[in-house]
Amino acid sequence: MRRAGVKIGVIGAGAWGTALANLLANKGLEVALWVFEQEVCADILEARENKIFLPGIPLSENIQPSNDLDQVAANKDMLLLVVPSHVFRSVAVRMVHHPTEKTLIVSATKGIENKSHLTMSGVLKQLLPPRLENRIAVLSGPSFAKEVAREMPTAVTVAARDPEVAREVQTAFATPYFRVYTSYDVVGVELGGAVKNVMAIAAGISDGLGLGYDTRAALITRGVTEIQRLGIRLGANPKTFMGLAGIGDLVLTCTGTLSRNWMVGYKLGQGMRLETILSDMRTVAEGVKTTKSVYNMSQNMGVEMPITEQVYRILYEDLGPREALQALMGRDLKHEIDEE
Catalytic annotation, residues: 196
Among 55, 66, 77, CA closest to 7: 77
Give CA–CA dist 1/77, Å, rounded: 9
Among 15, 44, 35, 49, CA closest to 285: 15
Is-contact 145 18, C-beta < 8 A? yes
DSSP codes, 268-325: HHTT--HHHHHHT-SS--HHHHHHHHHHHHHHHHT---HHHHHHHHHHHS---HHHHH
DSSP category for residue 14: S
Give CA–CA dist 220/61, Å, rounded: 41
